[in-house]
Structure 1
Amino acid sequence: MRASERAVDQTASSALHTPLALSAYAGDAACLACHQQISESYVHTAHHLTSQVASAESIHGSFSAGANALKTANPGLTFEMQAMPDGSFTQTANYVTRTGTLQTLTQPIDLVTGSGRKGQTYLYWAGELLFELPVSYWTVGKEWINSPGYQDGTAHFDRPIAPQCLECHASYFESLAPPVNRFDRTKLVLGIGCERCHGPGAEHVRRERLSPQPRPGSSEEAIVNPARLDRERQIDVCALCHAGAGEALAQPLSFKPGDVLAEYVRSPAVLPGAPLDVHTNQVQLLRESKCFLSSNMTCSTCHDTHEEQRDVAALSSKCLGCHTQKACPKYKTLPAAIKTRCVECHMPLQHSNTLFSDNSGERLTPKVRNHRIAVYAEFTAK
């Protein structure tokens, strides 16, 4: 390849892996104008609620006296969560120094990450720097817990939020690095919005609003319908966040639906039979499933991202699109109930080993749905 050709190729590659400006996005409100029914259901999903501004409604933890404190492995350290008179919220570390002096360190709760289905973690701004707070909320126990990544019994508020974190918990942001956790606060768009799966929509909206008809070009050309992508590109849209942390090959937010994810993220090689975590390797686990290998299924075969889906019995009906009740060995003993137990038995809830919190000597790990569809003897319906 000649030098001029290499230069053109490098320029094209650079453009491909460069995030678009915020102006390329229309925002969820613009989508609502034409897709009201879908948008109104989507706002209740875990994707949409994965990051929010801190408020009495968005924070699930209790601020009531007696329920707003966290004891740690260090008897000289406790944390207290408070709802302030001005409507703000704080986390305070109360600790005893080596000289016996009582000290306090307080930071605001500015942002909420996590829909609350399993828990929530909270963030705070220090100027343009974004940090994780040391206390999170555990939904199962309805209690405050030590935040993942923080050492139990220490009074630190210094865990930085990297762009890779926001890429799966926000719709848009602009990095001002260095340092790695410096962002433009005015351009942070919270939640996973419509355009994370459908691509930037400002041009699509512009064409739709043109009058009179016909419009120059097709509105369909300016938006992505993931259902019309081929199988691998459909899965790539989900794998960006549901295949674990890989090695970034491009700037965050440069991947767009329809792109080849491998050009943007290098996922670690998975050896046959190697243990995979139910939290960080959902796509890899699905790919190991016989159901996946013997069909053309994708994530959307079972999941409708526009709807809140928490009814496991209802999701089991998806299995019956390919399988019959009579094919299950338990059919004769559970003829009526078996049709609602597919997911419970063949995609059981199991503990994650990569997502955990250490609390006074106890390790808390959430249960996550195993996406390797298989026969698990210990979960077989009885």
Structure 2
Amino acid sequence: MARAWLAPTLLFGPALAWSIAAAAGLAWTATDTAAWADLERHGDPVAGSASCRGCHPQQWQSWHDSWHRTMTQRPETGRVVAAERALVGPVGPVGPVGPAAGSGRQRQAGVLAPFAGEQLDYGGFRATMDRGDDGTPRVVVQRLDDAGDQVVGSPVLDVAVALTVGSHRYQQYVAQLGRAGGDDSELWRLPVAWHRAEQRWIHMNGAFVEPEGEVGSLPDYERHLSRWNDNCVFCHNTEPVPGRSDDWPGFRTRVGELGIACEACHGPASVHLERHLGNPLRRLLASADPGTDGSIANPSTLTPARESEVCGRCHGQRIAKDIAAVMRDGDGFIAGDELASVSRPIFADSTIAGAEGLEHGRPFAARFWPDGTPRLSAYEYQGLLLSPCWDPAGDDGLGCGHCHDMHGATPDGQPRAGRTGEGACVSCHSPDTLGGAQRSGGHGGHGQHVGAVDCLDCHMPRITYGLLEGMVTHRISSPDPAALLGRADQPDACTQCHVDRSRAWAAESMAALNLRSSPVDPSAAQAEERVASRVVLDLIGGDPIQRNLAAHALARPGATGSLEARMAWIAEGLEDEYPSVRWFAWRGLRSLVEQLDVEQVEQQDRRAALLDELQQFDYLGPIDARVEIITRVRALLGPGPLADHPELHEQLAADRWALAIWIGE
């Protein structure tokens, strides 16, 4: 009988013993409160994203594939930079770099632009992007002669690229140079950038919302040659410290890691590594219940308010509580902190010391629509705070993580699976309570816009400008065009899609569909809306952001109105004095022309001719060259908007000069 038990005991005994020991170890580890207690991590060193990979390979890979990782890079590698608190300056990792492996002319992984001798003429200057003998990307800017053909004199800028900033829509370049009394510890963003989608160089004056400068004016050309150490460093790096103090000259800037890396959202991980690296049982328990470990922050286990503040630190322009302290040592914020303890978000009525005399004491008002809704990107957090879904108490309500997943499968926008379009809403709202317009025969399922309209089009319309794009607002609201009747200072959701309709029509349609809205007073409608749509009026007479968004709306898929009419209307923007408006008009017109029916023989030649003209059109080019192309384009498209009402067109165009705005960041 004893022999019958011998074989099973020898076979399974060790495994059973190990199982009992492991269970005992897990039980002991789980009840060891000191092993899970919250640890003070403020001021701890950053461990670096590379240290996260071994235990969190999937999360590391999703981060590595994101635009966050490439927010700031060194040009010689494009890889994850070592995460020690290295000084970013003349004695740190930023400086002249050697050639990429294999060849001094080989294109580096972190640099999107070719840097192969390309030239960009703009504003009376020529920028040449090439490489030094060692392969380092360089930018040289020289003045052009009066004819605009030849460079004259010594270079006004001749620098090596030390850092790249951004890589999603366009990539900017940063160089190390002393300027304005500074020293070589200063890094400055250069005035040219590489646009990823269009594969071309642009001048930064053409990316922001401001009119052209004076040709030949160096201050105008260098308007966006801005210092990186106390500007870009904050939202494009992990644990940034500008290092500016009266106690020493210049900057002693350092970052925990270049780009937005793991510890930007989870906080310093040094003590987390010390706690877990030598204890596999503790790692196993921590992965099973990530909210119990006090050595690291997991935003997904925080309340919606605390979680959203992790995002709002960068995606919500703010004013530091103690500016001098932040300039010296950084803000010290880590995930789980209350953001208000170190800074306050900027709103339309925010003020800052020293700016009392600017814009009637409201220096930030131009960044918001009259109702307080942000109209620029990098204010997404403010949009959330203004939404009815936000819970000020912070324990419930909507948070960034409801719609976004930093470790999801889609880098663009980082949407959570199933939360795009109406999926973002039905996760909280029962479908039975939604779709009033659909039930009334309008949007969604039964009307003319089948498949073209979802919740976001109405409740988060594209009334935000940023990075040469029209973006959805993050202030959730219900459309109410009747409340804006008689006003021309803010777009509404309805006419951003119904680009051939007036605001009065939109207000009356809301009432006809029995949708909630303000009382409709037809007499309040502007007289000019009887002869042109709201978007066309915005394109001609709105302020620069309205004109950007109007051109964007005219070219959007699903916009109403005939293709021919929209092409004739949008071409108006090619003549605008703001480069950003010309960009939207040029890109939008090109996309509309590409939709022309090539099966019609007469359209084939017209389409080819238009595309050829648009290929030659440079929104940053000399005005004489632009006018010649616009004249030929207009001949192919026919009369522009308000051609039958020239006096109204002239009046709207003249009035918009009073609406000029300058927004650089």
- If the length of structure 2 is used for normalisation, what is the TM-score? 0.46
> Equivalents in 2 of 1:181, 1:345: separation in Å?
49
Among 309, 331, 337, the residue aligned to 1:259: 337
CA contact (8 A) 1:160 1:180 kept: no
With 229-238 and 365-374 compared, the bigger mean Cα shift is at 365-374
After superposition, what is the alpha-carbon deviation per residue over 1:241-279, rounded to whole angstroms, capped at 9, x for unaligned? 111132342522411111111111133355682242231
CA contact (8 A) 2:347 2:372 kept: no
Give the match's secondary structure for 2:383.
Answer: helix
Give the match's secondary structure for 1:206.
Answer: helix
**Structure-to-structure mapping, 1:60-71, within 5 angstroms:** 60-64=112-116, 68-71=118-121
1:335 and 1:372, CA in 2 relative to 1: closer, same or farther beyond 3 A?
A: same
**Structure-to-structure mapping, 1:141-220, within 5 angstroms:** 141-147=198-204, 154=218, 156=222, 159-178=226-245, 182-184=251-253, 189-211=257-279, 220=293
> Hey, what does 1:361 align to over in structure 2?
none
**Structure-to-structure mapping, 1:280-291, within 5 angstroms:** 280-291=378-389
> Equivalents in 2 of 1:255, 1:289: separation in Å?
25
CA contact (8 A) 1:162 1:180 kept: no
Give the match's secondary structure for 1:60.
Answer: coil
Q: Specify the code of the residue in structure 1 equivalent to 2:123.
A: A
> Hey, what does 1:243 align to over in structure 2?
316
> Equivalents in 2 of 1:336, 1:96: separation in Å?
52
Give the match's secondary structure for 1:343.
Answer: helix
> Hey, what does 1:87 align to over in structure 2?
135
CA contact (8 A) 1:231 1:298 kept: yes
Give the match's secondary structure for 2:176.
Answer: strand
> Hey, what does 2:154 align to over in structure 1?
103
Among 307, 313, 316, the residue aligned to 1:234: 307
Q: Specify the code of the residue in structure 2 equivalent to 1:71.
A: D
Among 374, 377, 381, the residue aligned to 2:494: 377
With 343-352 and 297-306 compared, the bigger mean Cα shift is at 343-352
Q: CA deviation at 1:220?
A: 0.8
Q: Specify the code of the residue in structure 2 equivalent to 1:315.
A: T
Determine if the alignment matches structure 1 residue 273 to structure 2 residue 371.
Answer: yes
With 228-237 and 204-213 compared, the bigger mean Cα shift is at 204-213
> Equivalents in 2 of 1:314, 1:275: separation in Å?
23
Among 129, 138, 150, the residue aligned to 2:195: 138
Q: How many residues align?
A: 346
1:212 and 1:268, CA in 2 relative to 1: closer, same or farther beyond 3 A?
A: closer
Structure 2's unaligned 5+ residue stretches are 1-39, 77-107, 178-183, 287-291, 350-369, 438-442, 480-492, 498-557, 561-665
> Equivalents in 2 of 1:44, 1:145: separation in Å?
26
Q: CA deviation at 1:227?
A: 2.1
Structure 1's unaligned 5+ residue stretches are 1-15, 357-364
After superposition, what is the alpha-carbon deviation per residue over 1:32-84, rounded to whole angstroms, capped at 9, x for unaligned? 1111011101112122221111253333334355xx2211122xx11111134
With 252-261 and 164-173 compared, the bigger mean Cα shift is at 164-173
More helix by share: 2
CA contact (8 A) 1:53 1:112 kept: yes
What percentage of residue pairs aligned between the two structures are identical?
23
Q: CA deviation at 1:233?
A: 1.4
> Equivalents in 2 of 1:340, 1:43: separation in Å?
33
Quick check: which has more Rg, 1 or 2? Answer: 2
Q: CA deviation at 1:325?
A: 5.6
CA contact (8 A) 2:238 2:263 kept: yes
> Equivalents in 1 of 2:138, 2:70: separation in Å?
21
1:297 and 1:344, CA in 2 relative to 1: closer, same or farther beyond 3 A?
A: same
> Equivalents in 2 of 1:94, 1:113: separation in Å?
23
With 312-321 and 159-168 compared, the bigger mean Cα shift is at 312-321
Determine if the alignment matches structure 1 residue 123 to structure 2 residue 174.
Answer: yes
**Structure-to-structure mapping, 1:299-310, within 5 angstroms:** 299-307=400-408, 308-310=410-412
> Equivalents in 1 of 2:253, 2:374: separation in Å?
36
With 148-157 and 217-226 compared, the bigger mean Cα shift is at 148-157
Q: CA deviation at 1:284?
A: 1.3
1:334 and 1:204, CA in 2 relative to 1: closer, same or farther beyond 3 A?
A: farther
> Equivalents in 2 of 1:222, 1:318: separation in Å?
32
Q: Specify the code of the residue in structure 2 equivalent to 1:310.
A: D
After superposition, what is the alpha-carbon deviation per residue over 1:167-192, rounded to whole angstroms, capped at 9, x for unaligned? 2101134444258962356x562111
Give the match's secondary structure for 2:173.
Answer: strand
CA contact (8 A) 1:97 1:103 kept: no
1:20 and 1:293, CA in 2 relative to 1: closer, same or farther beyond 3 A?
A: closer
> Equivalents in 2 of 1:191, 1:259: separation in Å?
21
With 252-261 and 331-340 compared, the bigger mean Cα shift is at 331-340
CA contact (8 A) 1:113 1:169 kept: yes
The answer to which structure, 1 or 2, has the higher relative contact order (CA under 8 A, 6+ apart) is 1
> Equivalents in 2 of 1:220, 1:36: separation in Å?
19
1:337 and 1:53, CA in 2 relative to 1: closer, same or farther beyond 3 A?
A: farther
1:285 and 1:184, CA in 2 relative to 1: closer, same or farther beyond 3 A?
A: closer
In angstroms, what is the RMSD of aligned CA positions?
3.6
Give the match's secondary structure for 1:333.
Answer: coil
After superposition, what is the alpha-carbon deviation per residue over 1:179-227, rounded to whole angstroms, capped at 9, x for unaligned? 8962356x56211111111111111111111248669x98811001112
> Equivalents in 1 of 2:166, 2:70: separation in Å?
7
With 261-270 and 174-183 compared, the bigger mean Cα shift is at 174-183
